Structure 1
Amino acid sequence: MKKVKLNLGILGLLATFFVSCSDSDDSNSGGDNGGGIDSKYIITATPTASEGVADYILTADALDSGTITTAGNGIEQDGTYRYYVTSQNRFFSLLYGQGNPGAVTTYGLNSDGVLEKLSDFQSETVQAFAPVDDDILLMKISRNSDSPISSWYRLDTNTLQFTAEGQINTKELADKENGEIAFFSWITQVGNKVYLPYFTVKACCNDRFGTEYPNEANIAVFSYPEMEYEKTIHDERTSFIGRYFVNGLTVDETGDAYAFSSATATNNNEFTSTLPSAITRIKNGTTEFDEYYFDLEAASGGLYLTDHIYVKNGKFIGIMKAEKSSSSGNIYAVIDVYNQTYTEITGTPDPSTILGVTGRNYVSEDGSTVYIGITTKAGSYVYSIDVAGATATRGLEVEGGVITAISKLDTM
């Protein structure tokens, strides 16, 4: 089943080009830059003034109050579809090139609290990316059953250069009689391994993301950094883990991995999974699901999970929806996987008024507060969620923009 190839020659096409740190046109303070700056919050927002415009990267001193604006402010990104990841105290902005190579831009925060561009280079458009050790591992995933080769790339976050790449034959990995291929939902480091949850898809016809196997969960296990295939972890108590472009597997402080299923598998554009939205577990030191099972759909009174944010000590923020859907949820809850409890969060806007939510969010260092972006017709605000009290409070407003991600950088 395994088929992984290295082709280092292609890495020459992905060369890194470093940019001077003194380029003032590419930096923005976003607040008071007096002495003693230790960190800044990083807010990305899409301007609402016109369609088809690029995100802006803004900085802020606080998230609980105040106002920032996209008007005449921030660092404008190239391209209209941008995704973000923070690793090793660096902020990476990735352009989704819709099949074409896309720019990857890296930023750091200098001692004056100013964002500096550290590198700007081209990469293949990828559908999954996550920090692994000191790297960011990126996946360009095939959605064509006639060419089922997906590629992976290792980006060193210290040198800001690609150091290795390889290929995975996702038809061989899926090993389905009808020829469906594996499509990775996301990437999670578990111990010294890389776990790639996947769902199988037809990858053809007019139903590329449809599947005839809606009631199973699979995780491909790879060594790291070699990315050698080791095994597939399989379970039939839930549908697949995660969603397209959404992480569904998180590791807690003890090393246990919790797998979240939305139960949103489709066939011919109809939801077909007969299993509930639920959570399962892989104990530290093992490569199998154990007996743990949390029926999240029952605990929430019939809601479906669309995304989750890990906080601390077995507590997650679950982003829920009242009906099965391919879109993001609009109901927030505290999920305690240790005690199998579900507590809906108060203080967020009425779900019917929510137009968008952030997919990348910030958790305070002590795990007491989670900061999320919520946009309604009234505006785009950062909400702080008190995890212990399951309450949300409206904070920082982003004028003229829709918040797309929230992060934080310390000074370099």
Structure 2
Amino acid sequence: MKTFNIYLSVILASILFFSCSDSSPVDSNNNKPDASSKYVIAASPTALEDVADYLLTTESLTEGTVSTLDSGVEQDGTYRYYVTNNNKYFSLLYGQGNPGAVTTYQLNNSGELEELSDFQSETVQAFTSVEDDVLMMKIPRSTNDPTAYWYRLDTKNSQFVDEGQIDVVKLANNGEGAYFSWMTQVGDQVWAPFSTITGSGNNRFSTKYPDQARIAVYSYPEMKLQKVIKDDRTSFIGRYFTKGLSVDEKGDVYAFSSAVAMDDDQKMISSKPSAVTRIREGTTEFDQGYFFDLEEASEGYYVTNHFYTSNGNFLVMMRDLNKKAPWTAGHHLAIINVYDKSFTWVKDLPDAKDIIRVTKMNSYISEDGQTIHTGITTKDGSHVYAIDVNSATATKGLEVKGGIITSINKIDPVE
């Protein structure tokens, strides 16, 4: 088995860790957390290209101003991605073929981000919080080297405590290689949707099997394959580096397909619509009685990303079908309800043609699930918008000067 070769540095870094407090409540209107909690906003400076993000902290998402020009914690390297677990904030560097890194922060009792550890790691293409761990996956793009590697980071002590391998050609079982779009904890398991890719030619992400939805089900923490769940009513679930599954309060799993399977020339070749399907709690089969056609509901758009709020409601990012592309995120926002299959465009947002970026990776959802705060950057600047789920109405809030908002999270200080 391939060795991760970072255990010693991680162990040395782990002595810097301190214990963390439990999450503190927010007020009923969700305008501000209690005085000690902070939102962490990752923003890429707009003045320069290919520069590192800044991490900015604020007590409110609905008012005020923060800036990358004179504040924040600068990250080391571009293409950073973020996840929180155990009240710690993890910044992961995507190395684009080079080694990556994991930097860990906590909020000290002075309300400032404090670096706990910073160590080199593998560059990974999928990661998620599972119990007290951050599970990460390094995924091959070639069938000539068909081994994916997973790594389990214990967030309590910042140590990699386990690792393993997955043969993606064997998993695909069709002559191509399985490529995981993301991973999601479902009960005590990890579900990993995947497309299958040729791994060769002009487009390594091309496929001869565009109309297949597949989910690999793994036990946890052993990561032993239990089953592959299959459905041919949609194309693959999720997109590259984009979550495709969410679990509601009932334990039901909803799967989102963008229908962006490609041939060798990057031509869209799926014959299936962009849609939502469902797997009932306690089962490992798609519910054949449930199908939510998002192209039909939106009258000509496909989904590129989603955030679950509560009670069957999702904020979805949509894009014109006539502009379908494999990597581009949509700038049209809507609220859908997967229970009654309703679809409502969000009002009072900037015009989609003026939007440069909508936060893709992390948006902050209120504890009651009624409001979702997402970052929107236009040529006129960047703001956090509070979207009321019930009315599908947006209100402009915090301004982020000099930066494109890439992530919004919340953490509490240590005691």
**Class of the TM-score when normalised by the shorter of the 2 chains:** over 0.9
Letter of the 1:387 counterpart: V
> Any idea what SS the aligned residue of 1:239 has?
coil
Task: Look up the match of 1:213.
Answer: 209
2:301–2:318 contact (8 Å) kept in structure 1 = yes
- Inter-CA distance 21–294: structure 2 relative to 1 (3 Å threshold): closer
Deviation readout 1:326-346 (Å, 9 max, x if unpaired): 201001111100111111110
Deviation of 1:144 after TM superposition, in Å, equals: 1.0
Task: Look up the match of 1:289.
Answer: 286
Task: Look up the match of 1:229.
Answer: 225
Task: Look up the match of 1:62.
Answer: 60
**Cα distance in structure 2, aligned partners of 1:65 and 1:249:** 32
**Cα distance in structure 2, aligned partners of 1:38 and 1:198:** 40
2:14–2:157 contact (8 Å) kept in structure 1 = no
Deviation of 1:162 after TM superposition, in Å, equals: 0.4
Deviation of 1:18 after TM superposition, in Å, equals: 4.4
Residue number among 69, 74, 77 corresponding to 1:76 in the alignment: 74
TM-score (norm 2): 0.92
1:14–1:123 contact (8 Å) kept in structure 2 = no
2:234–2:272 contact (8 Å) kept in structure 1 = yes
Letter of the 1:407 counterpart: N
Is 1:280 the equivalent of 2:268?
A: no
Deviation readout 1:332-379 (Å, 9 max, x if unpaired): 111100111111110111011011111121101111110111111000
Deviation of 1:112 after TM superposition, in Å, equals: 2.0
Deviation readout 1:59-106 (Å, 9 max, x if unpaired): 011011111111121000000110011112111000001112112111
Deviation of 1:38 after TM superposition, in Å, equals: 2.4
Residue number among 39, 42, 46 corresponding to 1:41 in the alignment: 39
> Any idea what SS the aligned residue of 2:287 has?
strand
**Cα distance in structure 2, aligned partners of 1:12 and 1:155:** 11
1:278–1:296 contact (8 Å) kept in structure 2 = yes
1:21–1:116 contact (8 Å) kept in structure 2 = no
- Inter-CA distance 206–287: structure 2 relative to 1 (3 Å threshold): same
Deviation readout 1:352-410 (Å, 9 max, x if unpaired): 10111111211011111101111110001111101011001111111111111111111
TM-score (norm 1): 0.92
**Cα distance in structure 2, aligned partners of 1:11 and 1:314:** 41
Letter of the 2:358 counterpart: V
Gaps (5+ residues) in structure 1? 1-5, 23-35
Deviation of 1:7 after TM superposition, in Å, equals: 5.4
- Inter-CA distance 275–114: structure 2 relative to 1 (3 Å threshold): same
Task: Look up the match of 1:341.
Answer: 342
- Inter-CA distance 318–396: structure 2 relative to 1 (3 Å threshold): same
- Give the aligned length: 392
**Cα distance in structure 2, aligned partners of 1:116 and 1:365:** 25
- RMSD over equivalenced CA pairs, Å: 1.5
Residue number among 190, 195, 209 corresponding to 2:191 in the alignment: 195
Deviation readout 1:186-213 (Å, 9 max, x if unpaired): 0001111110100000111211001110
Task: Look up the match of 1:174.
Answer: 172
2:10–2:158 contact (8 Å) kept in structure 1 = no
Task: Look up the match of 2:10.
Answer: 15
1:371–1:384 contact (8 Å) kept in structure 2 = yes
Letter of the 1:84 counterpart: Y
Task: Look up the match of 1:377.
Answer: 379
Q: How does 1:59-208 map to 2 (within 5 A)?
A: 59-176=57-174, 179-208=175-204
Residue number among 225, 243, 249 corresponding to 1:247 in the alignment: 243
> Any idea what SS the aligned residue of 1:172 has?
helix
2:383–2:400 contact (8 Å) kept in structure 1 = yes
**Cα distance in structure 2, aligned partners of 1:78 and 1:8:** 25
1:21–1:117 contact (8 Å) kept in structure 2 = no
2:218–2:227 contact (8 Å) kept in structure 1 = yes
- Inter-CA distance 174–21: structure 2 relative to 1 (3 Å threshold): closer
Letter of the 1:287 counterpart: T
**Cα distance in structure 2, aligned partners of 1:218 and 1:20:** 41
Deviation readout 1:153-209 (Å, 9 max, x if unpaired): 000011111000000000000011xx2100000000111111010000011121100
Deviation of 1:261 after TM superposition, in Å, equals: 0.4
Task: Look up the match of 1:27.
Answer: none
Residue number among 403, 406, 412 corresponding to 2:405 in the alignment: 403
Q: How does 1:312-331 map to 2 (within 5 A)?
A: 312-323=310-321, 324-325=324-325, 326-331=327-332
Task: Look up the match of 1:3.
Answer: none
Deviation of 1:313 after TM superposition, in Å, equals: 1.2
**Cα distance in structure 2, aligned partners of 1:20 and 1:265:** 45
Letter of the 2:91 counterpart: S
Deviates more, 1:257-266 or 1:36-45: 36-45
Letter of the 1:162 counterpart: F
**Cα distance in structure 2, aligned partners of 1:333 and 1:49:** 30
Task: Look up the match of 2:49.
Answer: 51
- Inter-CA distance 9–106: structure 2 relative to 1 (3 Å threshold): closer
